[in-house]
């Protein structure tokens, strides 16, 4: 959003509660990332039973994209329509694939997405990818051939990585997913969005780091945001601005609106529907590993193939099951987090002989899966996974496939209800203000000058990774803001004012 609006007349202040992630040796250290949790927030949230946990989330410039796997999928055309699942109905979006397709094109260009169309049976209509796919390593190429022999349709994973093989480019290393890229070759929001926006706009874009937005304050009528209250350098400052774009992530954006409750908005800002924080989704995800005691896995960059044959319909069921994707290599210390008393040497031996996969299914939006605040203002996450029968079926299918590939043992692990990495859906878009929080351009129904552009607008979670859809919608909303808000501002320049005052 910042990069898309950087060349306009707008003066933009980006408020980020974290700092830049330094480029340092620890970026690629499994011990630093998985044992010391060096880059994760120290914040504690509570679950529905009031138990504390450290969420798997990161507060820094670029947000969670800094640590993502950069698997950048378009949602399938069917994902935008209502779809019957085993566990219920996945609701329709108020926009269709065709509305987002030109923005997916731009998002793929911006994020250097590599792929090859024509292999994936669920692929929506599209032109060629802007960049060639990452070639499979020898071991993965053999697996791809075996998958084809089984009658499946393996396809290259769409990946946002830059200049692989070139001197300053991606080194196709084994510390990508969940790590920050030490050489800045991963396409993520810090490198692709924020830094270019700051460079390009000759002072019109400013970034405040270590600055946490606490509340959005409305004017007397309660229809517009008058100021944002920000905690910065031990002080509370108030920033007045004609337009606010909230992009704190699905959980924090909902929490911020709930914290912004006032006399005019006693249940939280933008919450006349009562839906702020509700319909939280996070995907059903299981990590699986095919293991062979006598076969070393020599692949370094493993994350290149997907199997979407069961995405829309299972082998034995008419219902959708989800996506199967090869994963980055597991490291011994990562595996040790599951059962810490087993020595890391044993895990190292184990993971050296395994091929890793991520199995992902859609979870469905329900009113009771939601974000609330505790009495002392902390985030409380109420989440009971649903559509589990479909996910279990996909896990069984994956196990069957891995056995047929020649792995005598298949192990699996899931972070379950506390996996917040694919959080979405807490401030849903729609045309009916009683059934949604945001309109289809992500403007709050109740607050004229508030847009929310992050994962919270999703009406359903689909079963592909959410990032590219968030980016595409941000570009679409940026165009909408250019056409509506910025024209108004230019006609009325005295309103273009950014004023900070200590309170
Ligand atoms: C390990 C990992 C791997 C992933 N892999 C993939 C993948 O391969 N493909 C994919 O599509 N998705 C992936 N995801 C998910 C993806 O990263 C998220 O969907 C995406 O980052 C969500 O973007 P967002 O803008 O909604 O929120 P975030 O990326 O969480 O950004 C929110 C930002 O707001 C800041 N913030 C929060 N509250 C405040 C406040 N009160 N004041 C000021 N600043 C605030 C945060 O510090 C952060 O910078 C992965 C996530 C993780 C953690
Ligand atoms: S070098 Fe490539 S594979 Fe390694 S972290 Fe960076 S983008 Fe990922």
Ligand 1 atom 11 nearest Cα? 467
| Distance, CA of 462 to CA of 322 (rounded, Å) | 8
Whether the CB of 321 sits within 6 Å of ligand 1: no
Cα–ligand 1 centroid distance for 249 (angstroms): 6
Q: What is the helix (H) or strand (E) element at residue 47, kind and residue range?
A: strand 45-47
| Distance, CA of 157 to CA of 143 (rounded, Å) | 14
Whether the CB of 420 sits within 6 Å of ligand 1: no
Structure tokens at 110: 């911006």
| Distance, CA of 465 to CA of 488 (rounded, Å) | 36
Whether the CB of 464 sits within 6 Å of ligand 1: no
| Distance, CA of 62 to CA of 60 (rounded, Å) | 6
Cα–ligand 1 centroid distance for 71 (angstroms): 14
Rounded (5°) CA angle 358-360-361? 165
Whether the CB of 207 sits within 6 Å of ligand 1: no
Ligand nearest 175 Cα, by number?
2
Structure tokens at 56: 């798997």
Cα–ligand 2 centroid distance for 458 (angstroms): 28
Atom of ligand 2 nearest to the CA of 179: 5
Whether the CB of 323 sits within 6 Å of ligand 1: no
At 11 the pLDDT is: 94
Whether the CB of 458 sits within 6 Å of ligand 1: no
Give every CB contact of residue 225 below 8 A, 6+ residues apart in sequence. Answer: 216, 217, 218, 219, 241, 244, 447, 449, 450
Cα–ligand 1 centroid distance for 75 (angstroms): 18
Ligand 2 atom 8 nearest Cα? 176
Mutate which of 171, 177, 301 for ligand 2? The one with the most ligand atoms within 8 Å of its CB, which is 171
Classified as helix, coil or strand, 413 is: strand
Cα–ligand 2 centroid distance for 403 (angstroms): 30
Give every CB contact of residue 156 below 8 A, 6+ residues apart in sequence. Answer: 114, 115, 116, 119, 133, 134, 136, 304, 305, 306
Cα–ligand 2 centroid distance for 70 (angstroms): 10
| Distance, CA of 407 to CA of 414 (rounded, Å) | 20
The partner residues of 386 in beta bridges, in order of sequence, read none
Cα–ligand 2 centroid distance for 131 (angstroms): 16
Q: Are strands 354-361 and 370-373 parallel, antiparallel or unpaired?
A: unpaired
| Distance, CA of 217 to CA of 179 (rounded, Å) | 36
The whole-number mean pLDDT for each consecutive block of 10 residues of the chain, a chain of 503 residues, reads: 92 97 98 96 96 96 98 98 98 98 98 98 98 96 98 98 94 97 98 95 90 97 96 96 97 98 96 98 96 94 97 96 96 86 89 96 98 96 97 98 97 87 98 98 98 98 98 98 76 46 57
At 494 the pLDDT is: 38
Cα–ligand 1 centroid distance for 64 (angstroms): 3
| Distance, CA of 48 to CA of 41 (rounded, Å) | 20
Ligand 1 atom 41 nearest Cα? 213
Ligand 2 atom 4 nearest Cα? 173
Residues with CB under 6 A from ligand 2: 161, 170-173, 175-176, 179, 181, 183, 185-186
At 249 the pLDDT is: 98
Q: What is the helix (H) or strand (E) element at residue 352, kind and residue range?
A: none
- Rounded to 10°, the helix 97-110/467-481 angle is 100
Cα–ligand 1 centroid distance for 63 (angstroms): 4
Atom of ligand 2 nearest to the CA of 186: 7
Q: Report the 10 Å Cβ neighbour count for 347.
A: 20
Ligand 2 atom 3 nearest Cα? 172
Q: What is the pLDDT of residues 55-88, one digit of tens each?
A: 999 999 999 999 999 999 999 999 999 999 999 9
Give every CB contact of residue 176 below 8 A, 6+ residues apart in sequence. Answer: 69, 70, 161, 186, 301, 303, 328
Rounded (5°) CA angle 227-229-233? 135
At 489 the pLDDT is: 53
The partner residues of 444 in beta bridges, in order of sequence, read 438
Ligand nearest 28 Cα, by number?
2
Ligand nearest 23 Cα, by number?
2
Atom of ligand 2 nearest to the CA of 184: 6
Residue count (the chain): 503
At 490 the pLDDT is: 44
Mutate which of 59, 246, 248 for ligand 1? The one with the most ligand atoms within 8 Å of its CB, which is 248
Atom of ligand 1 nearest to the CA of 464: 11
| Distance, CA of 147 to CA of 141 (rounded, Å) | 10
Whether the CB of 177 sits within 6 Å of ligand 1: yes
Closest CA to 69 of 359, 334, 303, 412: 303
Ligand nearest 1 Cα, by number?
1
Cα–ligand 2 centroid distance for 183 (angstroms): 7
């Amino acid at each position: 959003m910042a990069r898309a609006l950087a060349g306009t007349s707008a003066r933009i202040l980006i408020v980020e509660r974290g700092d830049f992630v330094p480029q340092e040796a620890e970026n690629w250290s499994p011990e630093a990332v998985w044992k010391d949790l060096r880059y994760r927030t120290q914040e504690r949230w509570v679950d529905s039973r009031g138990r504390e946990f450290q969420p798997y989330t990161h507060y820094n410039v670029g947000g969670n994209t800094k640590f993502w796997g950069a698997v950048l999928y378009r949602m399938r055309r069917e994902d935008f329509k209502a779809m019957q699942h085993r566990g219920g109905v996945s609701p329709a979006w108020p926009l269709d694939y065709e509305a987002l397709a030109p923005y997916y094109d731009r998002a793929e260009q911006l994020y250097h997405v590599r792929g090859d169309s024509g292999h994936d049976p669920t692929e929506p209509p599209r032109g060629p990818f802007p960049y060639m796919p990452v070639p499979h390593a020898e071991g993965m190429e053999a697996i791809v051939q075996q998958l084809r022999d089984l009658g499946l349709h393996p396809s290259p994973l769409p990946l946002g990585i830059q200049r692989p093989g070139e001197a300053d480019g991606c080194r196709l290393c084994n510390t990508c997913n969940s790590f920050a890229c030490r050489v800045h070759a991963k396409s993520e929001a810090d490198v692709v969005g924020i830094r270019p926006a700051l460079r390009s706009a000759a002072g019109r874009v400013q970034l405040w780091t270590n600055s946490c937005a606490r509340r959005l304050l409305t004017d007397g009528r309660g229809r517009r945001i008058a100021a944002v209250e920000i905690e910065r350098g031990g002080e509370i400052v108030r920033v007045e601005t004609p337009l606010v774009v909230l992009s704190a992530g699905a959980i924090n954006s909902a929490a911020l609106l709930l914290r912004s409750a006032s006399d005019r908005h006693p249940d939280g800002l933008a919450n006349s529907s009562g839906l702020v924080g509700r319909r939280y989704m996070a995907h059903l995800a299981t990590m699986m590993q095919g293991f062979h005691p006598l076969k070393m896995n020599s692949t370094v960059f493993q994350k290149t193939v997907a199997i979407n044959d069961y995405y829309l319909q299972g082998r034995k069921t008419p219902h959708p099951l989800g996506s199967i994707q090869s994963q980055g290599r597991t490291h011994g210390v990562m595996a040790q987090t599951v059962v810490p008393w087993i020595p890391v040497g044993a895990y190292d031996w184990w993971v050296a002989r395994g091929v890793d996969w991520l199995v992902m299914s859609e979870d469905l939006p329900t009113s009771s899966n939601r974000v609330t605040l505790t009495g002392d203002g902390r985030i409380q996450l109420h989440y009971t996974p649903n559509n589990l029968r479909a996910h279990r079926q996909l896990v069984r299918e994956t196990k069957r496939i891995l056995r047929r590939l020649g792995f005598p043992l298949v192990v699996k692990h899931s972070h379950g209800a506390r996996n917040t990495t694919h959080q979405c859906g807490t401030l849903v878009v729609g045309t009916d203000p009683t059934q949604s929080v945001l309109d289809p351009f992500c403007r709050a129904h109740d607050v004229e000058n508030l847009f929310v552009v992050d994962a919270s607008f999703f009406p359903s979670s689909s079963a592909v990774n959410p990032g590219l859809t968030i980016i595409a919608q941000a570009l679409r909303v940026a165009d909408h803001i250019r056409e509506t808000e910025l024209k108004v501002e230019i006609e009325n320049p005295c309103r273009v004012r950014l004023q900070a005052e200590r309170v």
